[in-house]
Amino acid sequence: MNALRCGLVLAALTIILGAFGAHALRDTLAASGHTEHWKTAVAYQFMAVPGLLLLGFVRAPRWIAWFLALGAAFFSGSLYWLSLGGPGWLGPLTPLGGVLLIVGYIALACTARRDPETMG
């Protein structure tokens, strides 16, 4: 996985989905009471971006990028679907995505602490 490219694409998608929710889906989300869920999904999706961008410039295990990308996809993706009336079985993906994001950032921190030379 190219972490830098993934981070940049994820950043662009975050802006697109944030604008889509604020404008095109405003009435739909307000009627269903899911406006805050959509906003949370956008915020957490963006939380993966700095880690992915950093991984694009440093030598670190590739799996860290997968944890951040999948964490954003599971956490935010499940909230997007649930906000739009998706099936309830998607609910457990939200905390799983949060755990993946946390593990990804902790792994990045451990890599930085273990070998400062690999961090730039």
pLDDT tens digits along 65-107: 999 999 999 999 999 999 999 999 999 999 999 999 999 999 9
pTM comes to 0.91
N-terminal to C-terminal alpha carbon distance within the chain: 19
The arithmetic mean of pLDDT across residues 25-48, rounded, is 97
- What stretches of 23-92 show up as alpha helix (H) in DSSP? 26-32, 35-47, 49-55, 62-83
**How many Å apart are CA 85 and CA 16, to the nearest integer?**
20
The domain of 104 spans 3-119
**How many Å apart are CA 49 and CA 41, to the nearest integer?**
13
Domain count along the chain: 1
The arithmetic mean of pLDDT across residues 21-39, rounded, is 97
How many Cα atoms occupy the beta-carbon half-sphere of 20 within 13 Å? 12
**Residue 50: Cβ-neighbour burial (10 angstroms; 0-12, 13-18, 19+):** middle
